Structure 1
Amino acid sequence: MRQLTILACLCFLPCLAAQLAAQIKYTLNGYIKDSLSGETLIGASISFEEGRKGVNANRYGFYSITLAAGEYQAVCSFIGYESKVFTIRVDSTRSLDILLSPLTTSMNNVTVIGKKKEDHLKTAQMGKIDLDMNAVKTLPVLLGETDILKTLQLMPGVRNAGEGNSGIYVRGGGPDQNLILLDEAVVYNSGHLFGFFSVFNSDAIKSVSLIKGGMPAQYGGRLSSVLDIAMKEGNLNKTEIDAGIGLIASRFTIQGPIKKQKASYMLSARRTYVDQLIKPFVSKQNSSYGSGYYFYDLNAKMNYIFSPRDRLYLSGYLGRDVFEYKNSRRSFSLRVPWGNATATARLNHVFSRKLFANLTLLYNDYKFSFDGGQNNFNLKLSSGIQDYAAKTDFDWYASTAHKVRFGAQYTYHTFRPNVASGSQDTTEFTPNNSVTKHAKEYAAYIQDDWDISKLLKLNVGVRYSVFHQVGPYTAYNRDADGNKLDSVQYGSGKLVKGYGGLEPRATLRFMLNNNSSVKLAVTRNLQYIHLVTNAGTTLPTDLWVPSTLHVKPQIGWQYAAGYFRNFNNNMFETSLELYYKTMQNQIEYREGYTPSLTDPEQEFVFGKGWSYGSELFVRKVKGRLTGWVGYTLSYSWRRFPDLNYGNKYPSKYDRRHDLSVVGMYELTKKWKLSSIFVYGSGNAMSLPERFYFINNVLTQQYSTINAYRAAAYHRLDFAATYTPVPKRKHKYTSSWVFSIYNVYSRANPYFYYYDQSGSISLNGRVVIKAKKVSLFPIIPAVTWNVHW
């Protein structure tokens, strides 16, 4: 009997050993990188067991995953790169860096928008859009200038402000409700040429992500969306040069190793040159000689790898618009410069195979100034906002089922809404009209990406934020007419007014089957700084103001639900999302407001807003023909007790229907074609309804707010990219992009005005006609790009 027992134990011993081995777990961690440049790939995915277990790299390309001992087939993939399939034996804890090769032969299997063919199904994230920069550069654009913001306007739920404008308005929210980050630094003004071009030079950009629903807890301070943009780090292996000459601007980018596999740099510059081209043809005797407009951008970045655990990044951006006008006959001159400057320093440290940390120091500065004069009189105006910030973020890969992220942030804001000075001959005017305000903002967050089961996944988090207006500051008590009665002074750093609160976030995903899923999301956001505008676009004269004694923070709740499905072996990806958003403490100027140098707070009125809608998205991601169709049906409303008699009205960001059709076709190895068609309901606007004379002066009586709509907007664009294939290999490659903007020359409305003819005093008859102003007819453009 004893012998039989021993024999049975010997028979079951291999099975027991295999079971014990399967219970032993090991951790793999490392970076996912571009095999040619050595740059890390943000959000690249690695999966095991046919996708049942996996993880995405963080914003620095770092990943960590814990698996039971055994042999696995791994798949690593990223947008624009060849997927890598390999077998790995997990029998120890170790580092594993993974290199992916860029797709170079064709775009047949490139996902145009998105990271991985199944990511939009399986992740607990809603309303996220990732752009492929290579695809963006092939799309037709205004005057041949590649623009990531105009590409995002082609997505459902994202609309523009009007003809040619690069601003984005997400799900019924305003321009200030979008958190725009460049290497984690806030960009307060995203437009060049009064908003017709964005400030982002595509040659310097590595990745672009827009989150319009289910905002993760790591982001805060805005109600509508997050646009997270990362600059290229620089090639660690060899020097590369990219340059381009377009219709209105030229670009130059150089990147390469400072020390191979250890440190690299990237420098990129862009400038318009129309002013320089026109200058030789303008006579010096012309009264307007010396007038002109130009803008430029400078991007710089370097990184240094101290060790496998430590890496330093330094990056910066400087952009300026300059408008100059001179009239020698009238002895008049005007110079208006404005723009952003940002600087970022980041230090990565890997504490353990499961814990990754990043420390960030940030600086950003937005300035607008006006310097004009005539004869011996000179006037200067300026406004702006400046931030100093520090933040720390941790990624803790607790287990295969839990990826935890937590961190904290501090920002010191300085707001300068209006500062004026002047001179007359030798007399200087420096009135004490500065209404500079200071504020401190704090935030801490924690979130967990939790794989509950194969079918159920939950991303849940909470953010707690605090905002303090601090001194130096003088608060005035005023009577009903706005006259100052008395004041209270606050010393430097003293608390004037404080706000704060919890911001819970949650997104739930349920897999219906391998090809479809349902997602639900709810987010609460607090916004402490506000852009107050008297126009429909983001102009450089708009003012950023903080929450203060009299201005409360905006509060937003967004609820969203979506159905996601893939068809035909993941060739087609579709989604239908529904959303409802409430917005409290919205700000507008009072009726009859005219700009002045007083504290703008005295001119504000407050109300609420809400928006809701549905977004349909269908895209084809495989084959020679790729592209997408996006359609949005939406409503956006506002109600202010002091405006429109207290009745609700459509917001200026309301657009009932919005349709985008985008196609890209690889005709041959040399030729790629692309086309865009957009249609949108007209912008809401207020118009005069009655005209009458008072003492022979024509007077207008306006409608209620936004009671009318402009004509519908629609446009067709086309582009062809020609890439020569030389018989002999050269050190450089080049391409030509031929584009036509507004192919059928649609006269889309920019604004309306009323023209008056006749005279009451002369013939007793006055004719008033409404006229439409359009900006861009059909515009062909040619851009030449070269790469060494």
Structure 2
Amino acid sequence: MHRLYFIFIAILLSGNLRAQQVILSGVVRDASSGETLIGAVVSVQNGELATSTNTYGFYSLTVPGGRHSVVLSYVGYQTLVQDMDVTSNQRVNFELKPLDNRIDEVVVSAKRKDGNVRDAQMGALNFSMEEIKNIPVLFGEKDLLKTIQLLPGVQSGGEGTSNFYVRGGGSDQNLILLDEATVYNASHLLGFFSTFNSDAIKDVQLYKGGVPAQYGGRISSVLDIAMVDGNQKRFAAEGGIGLIASRLKIEAPLVKDKSSFMLSGRRTYADMFLKLSKDKDVNSSKLYFYDLNAKLNYKLNDKNTLYVSGYFGKDDLGYSDLFSFDWGNATGTVRWNHLFSERLFSNTSLIYSDFTYNVQVSSDDSDFKIASKIRNWNVKQDFSLYADANSTIRFGVHALHQSIHPASLSAGENTAVNSIDVDSRQGIDVAAYASHEWKPSERLSFIYGVRLNDFMVMGPGTFYEFDSDGEPTSEKYYGTEIVKHYLNLEPRFSASFLLNEQSSIKASYNRIAQNLHQLTNTTSSLPTDQYVVSSLNIKPQIANQVAMGYFRNFQGNRYEFSVEAYFKKMDNQIDFRNGADLQANRYLEGELLFGIGRAYGLEWYLRKNSGKLNGWVSYTLAKSERKFDGIDSGNWFRARQDRTHDLSVVAMYELSKKWTIGTTFVFNTGNAVTFPSGKYEVDGKSMFYYTERNGYRMPNYHRLDLSATYEPTKTNKRFQSSWTFGIYNVYNRKNAYIIDFREKESNPNITEAYKVALFGAIPSVTWNFKF
């Protein structure tokens, strides 16, 4: 009886202690603009209980009832400490003041100063555009896609291009999201600029491994980009004027502290210089791009907020009336945040994405147009349940309708080219997910979950079957119906074990399916590359990736070091038959080969976070291979993006209150490439003979960039300006962009290789302003 009595008392005491737990929740904002802060850390009890704000600045923290010192911190902002009595559930919103001088802060950071050590998430990096303003880039334009190419495990697609590869995967295996909307070709001017105007971007999250369960659809990485909401306090504007492009952003409250808008635009004016030419054809040519970002938010009440955002961008190239080529993205997102309780946060999204391109040729003997379009509608319902300070559950459902109109050819009346109409393809992708972020002890943390994905191949359209040589053997027309299901279960797992206060080891595993496939035979993603969805012949790509890492901070988190090893196995990879015809081909699937891939490597990363000198060094040692029955007798061969060594050194130094200099040095092994092994003659014409796929390499690539930023003394509290001077490729290295072969003019019996270099040394200057 005594034992039962003590058990009963213990249960009562346990229930009483649990009842004393209260919830502190709210939103963290920038005190000067009212902008929500993503990843701000809220903690009590000297950091023993802590959480970070979500994508919308919301936090929820379960704490013992009583008096606490609540500490709020965020990179680039003053730490706020507030003593308060928390005796019942409370909604408390906080505002953090920006630091006057941000050069002393982290350049590229985790969500908290020691988050890289303590958090279970691995293979992830978070940064803002403000934090990368001093990194020198091509043409002086801040560019987040070129910045992430300087991180370990991320490779550039080539000289000057914004295309990138992650851990040996293809460029189409990266999911790029702008306010949750998919961006398909994230480049301007064939890759020299990225789609993203830096002024309109607030936060960037890159996942290379351990991808959370709420993301799906790409097997290599996720780049999640959040746009600026808009200033809720006052009117503000900023922009810049450069040598070939200018930009302007305005933002202001509609209802102070309740509603605001942001509008940002950018345009190049290279076409203006063409007008100066006396050549009529050049004078009437086109060479420009523009983009527009817009966002509106409205706080309906304390529990409901509405966001509407969109992006539109277009490139237009053309030579007189003979040739024109234009392409562009359009996205739209409507989001509704609802707070069911202090613990349960909901986000409902309706999303639209569109990518189109058009090529038109008009001459005496040719008059035709090639057009293609990708469009999707996406509905998402996501929930976050903050069970307690050490447990967060996320779950939701997504439904996406994907429609692809492949490149079709429309010919004019007086031309030898025949019109070719290719059936559009459609699919519906439905997914449900759940994940749990759990910290069972001070040393151990987990993030685990699962995503269930069902892709439905849809009609109407004619579907073909092919023989081993790629010739069509049968065809069948399907109406508006489900042609085939592809069901995939995608488990995700990450864990962190804290060795001590400064170091930890982590491990992760994720399985991801991909049902959208880009068909390209170059290392640079071009607007004319074809997209296809999974079909009767094309199965979903599947990737299984495991990773392990050691993480350590030094000198009070001033220095961070990590080393990660990964192995990724990829199924249902796509390549092409020799001589494949990719444009306007209704039998395109017959040109494809299917195989497997593998990628593995080691990534080292050392970063200095604060002081007059800061920056990072990243080095990747890696290998990426593919295997197809129809290529190289079924043996393993290098993927085009295979690089043994990839090194980046980034440094920024504050010379004075007015001057800051930045430098970047990059070195990497040349991409794998297929060169001819010999030549033969047919009907008096020399033909090249090819043996192994990607059996050769381009020359090694290296480059040094410099920049200097001058910020004059403020004469007006509201107006700020700065000048950024830069030199891209300081020592004028002629890196090979293309290597081709030709017969030597003096002796046609000799074949010679020749190199095309894209850039030498390029100076730039940009005037930036803000008020």
Instruction: Tell me if TM exceeds 0.5.
Output: yes
State the shift of 1:477 in Å. 4.6
Code of the residue aligned with 2:529 in structure 1: it is D
2:749 matched residue in structure 1: 766
State the shift of 1:104 in Å. 1.8
The equivalences for 1:464-479 within 5 A come to 464-477=452-465
Cα distance change on mapping 1:695 and 1:335 into 2, 3 Å? closer
Code of the residue aligned with 1:556 in structure 2: it is A
Q: 2-side partners of 1:358 and 1:51: how far apart?
A: 28
The equivalences for 1:722-733 within 5 A come to 722-726=710-714, 728-733=715-720
1:458 matched residue in structure 2: 446
Q: 1-side partners of 2:694 and 2:178: how far apart?
A: 34
State the shift of 1:692 in Å. 3.3
State the shift of 1:378 in Å. 2.5
Q: Which of residues 214, 219, 223 in structure 2 aligns to 1:227?
A: 223
Cα distance change on mapping 1:90 and 1:290 into 2, 3 Å? same
Code of the residue aligned with 1:525 in structure 2: it is I
Code of the residue aligned with 1:354 in structure 2: it is R
Q: Deviations over 1:133-165 (max 9, x none)?
A: 112121111011111000000000000011111
User: Is the 8 Å Cα contact of residues 177 and 223 (structure 2) preserved in structure 1?
Assistant: yes
* TM-score where L is the length of structure 2: 0.96
The equivalences for 1:423-434 within 5 A come to 423-424=412-413, 431=419, 433-434=421-422
Residue 57 (structure 2) pairs with residue 70 (structure 1): no
2:693 matched residue in structure 1: 705
Q: 2-side partners of 1:628 and 1:484: how far apart?
A: 53
Where 1:766 maps in the other structure, the secondary structure is coil
1:349 matched residue in structure 2: 338
The equivalences for 1:154-303 within 5 A come to 154-279=150-275, 281-283=276-278, 286-303=280-297
Q: 2-side partners of 1:379 and 1:87: how far apart?
A: 71
The equivalences for 1:377-388 within 5 A come to 378-388=367-377
User: Is the 8 Å Cα contact of residues 371 and 380 (structure 1) preserved in structure 2?
Assistant: yes
User: Is the 8 Å Cα contact of residues 240 and 766 (structure 2) preserved in structure 1?
Assistant: yes
State the shift of 1:422 in Å. 2.0
State the shift of 1:765 in Å. 5.2
Q: CA RMSD in A?
A: 2.0
Q: 1-side partners of 2:260 and 2:733: how far apart?
A: 47
Code of the residue aligned with 2:552 in structure 1: it is R
1:334 matched residue in structure 2: 323
State the shift of 1:49 in Å. 1.7
Where 2:282 maps in the other structure, the secondary structure is coil
2:400 matched residue in structure 1: 411
User: Is the 8 Å Cα contact of residues 640 and 647 (structure 1) preserved in structure 2?
Assistant: yes
Q: 1-side partners of 2:48 and 2:577: how far apart?
A: 56
Code of the residue aligned with 1:497 in structure 2: it is K
1:329 matched residue in structure 2: none
The equivalences for 1:98-177 within 5 A come to 98-177=94-173
Q: Deviations over 1:404-432 (max 9, x none)?
A: 0000000111111122212225x999956
Gaps of 5+ in 1: 1-15, 327-331
Q: 2-side partners of 1:63 and 1:301: how far apart?
A: 23
State the shift of 1:70 in Å. 2.3
Residue 318 (structure 2) pairs with residue 324 (structure 1): yes
1:545 matched residue in structure 2: 532
1:558 matched residue in structure 2: 545
Q: 2-side partners of 1:778 and 1:532: how far apart?
A: 33
State the shift of 1:434 in Å. 2.1
Cα distance change on mapping 1:17 and 1:601 into 2, 3 Å? closer
The equivalences for 1:773-788 within 5 A come to 773-788=756-771
Residue 362 (structure 2) pairs with residue 373 (structure 1): yes
Return the index of the structure with the highest Cα Rg: 1
Q: 2-side partners of 1:22 and 1:360: how far apart?
A: 35
Bigger mean CA deviation after superposition, 37-46 or 127-136? 127-136
Q: 2-side partners of 1:173 and 1:17: how far apart?
A: 55
State the shift of 1:695 in Å. 3.6
Q: Which of residues 487, 491, 499 in structure 2 aligns to 1:504?
A: 491
1:314 matched residue in structure 2: 308
Residue 86 (structure 2) pairs with residue 97 (structure 1): no
Code of the residue aligned with 1:438 in structure 2: it is Q
The equivalences for 1:6-25 within 5 A come to 24-25=20-21
Q: Which of residues 377, 382, 398 in structure 2 aligns to 1:393?
A: 382
* TM-score where L is the length of structure 1: 0.94
Where 2:168 maps in the other structure, the secondary structure is coil
Q: Deviations over 1:286-314 (max 9, x none)?
A: 34331131111100000000001000000
Gaps of 5+ in 2: 1-11
State the shift of 1:56 in Å. 1.1
Q: Deviations over 1:65-117 (max 9, x none)?
A: 11111222222111221222232322121111111111223422445433321
1:305 matched residue in structure 2: 299
Q: 1-side partners of 2:596 and 2:16: how far apart?
A: 61
Q: 2-side partners of 1:565 and 1:712: how far apart?
A: 32
Q: 1-side partners of 2:407 and 2:552: how far apart?
A: 51
Q: 1-side partners of 2:709 and 2:473: how far apart?
A: 67
1:7 matched residue in structure 2: none
1:358 matched residue in structure 2: 347
Q: Deviations over 1:352-396 (max 9, x none)?
A: 111010100000000011122114852111112100110010011
State the shift of 1:594 in Å. 3.1
Q: Which of residues 667, 670, 676 in structure 1 aligns to 2:655?
A: 667
Bigger mean CA deviation after superposition, 444-453 or 108-117? 108-117
State the shift of 1:583 in Å. 0.2
State the shift of 1:637 in Å. 0.5
Q: Deviations over 1:165-219 (max 9, x none)?
A: 1111000000111110000000011111111211000000010110101000000
The equivalences for 1:569-584 within 5 A come to 569-584=556-571
Code of the residue aligned with 2:150 in structure 1: it is L
State the shift of 1:485 in Å. 5.6
Q: 1-side partners of 2:450 and 2:120: how far apart?
A: 16
2:705 matched residue in structure 1: 717
Code of the residue aligned with 1:424 in structure 2: it is E
Bigger mean CA deviation after superposition, 690-699 or 609-618? 690-699
2:610 matched residue in structure 1: 622
Residue 598 (structure 2) pairs with residue 610 (structure 1): yes
Q: 2-side partners of 1:463 and 1:571: how far apart?
A: 37
1:634 matched residue in structure 2: 622
State the shift of 1:706 in Å. 1.1
Q: How many residues align?
A: 759
Where 1:121 maps in the other structure, the secondary structure is helix
Code of the residue aligned with 1:307 in structure 2: it is N
Cα distance change on mapping 1:184 and 1:22 into 2, 3 Å? closer
Q: 2-side partners of 1:25 and 1:771: how far apart?
A: 72
Cα distance change on mapping 1:626 and 1:18 into 2, 3 Å? same
Q: 1-side partners of 2:416 and 2:676: how far apart?
A: 43
Q: 2-side partners of 1:401 and 1:479: how far apart?
A: 56
User: Is the 8 Å Cα contact of residues 335 and 348 (structure 2) preserved in structure 1?
Assistant: yes
User: Is the 8 Å Cα contact of residues 634 and 657 (structure 1) preserved in structure 2?
Assistant: yes
User: Is the 8 Å Cα contact of residues 22 and 70 (structure 1) preserved in structure 2?
Assistant: no
User: Is the 8 Å Cα contact of residues 466 and 590 (structure 2) preserved in structure 1?
Assistant: no
2:477 matched residue in structure 1: 489
